[in-house]
């Protein structure tokens, strides 16, 4: 669902488990959010964006890409 975010995750070798730890949720929850089954909260978006300081939040979470 978030193709730009998924691309950056792959490009930087970030593991879903790392994101889960950062957010304080399970890996399954991260997968559900990346697949669009559940929504990211604003605080989660900000935490994830901090991993990729050279790209904008709007780029990472662009659903049309």
pLDDT digits (tens, 9 = 90+) for 21-59: 999 999 999 999 999 999 999 999 999 999 999 999 999
* Three-class DSSP labels, 26-39: CHHHHHHHHCCCCC
Around Cβ 51, how many Cβ atoms within 10 Å? 16
> What mean pLDDT is predicted for residues 5-23?
97
Written as one string, the DSSP assignment of the chain is: --HHHHHHHHHTT--HHHHHHHHTS-HHHHHHHHTTSSPPPHHHHHHHHTT-TTS-HHHHT-S--
Query: What pLDDT score does 59 carry?
Result: 96
The pTM for the full model equals 0.89
Q: Which residue has the higher pLDDT, 6 or 65?
A: 6
Query: What pLDDT score does 63 carry?
Result: 85
Query: What pLDDT score does 1 carry?
Result: 86
């Amino acid at each position: 669902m978030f193709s730009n975010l998924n691309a950056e995750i792959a490009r930087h070798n970030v593991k879903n488990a790392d994101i889960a730890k950062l957010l304080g949720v399970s890996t399954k929850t991260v997968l559900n959010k990346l697949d669009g089954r559940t929504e990211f909260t604003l605080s989660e978006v900000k935490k994830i964006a901090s991993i990729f300081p050279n790209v904008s939040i709007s780029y990472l979470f662009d659903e049309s890409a």
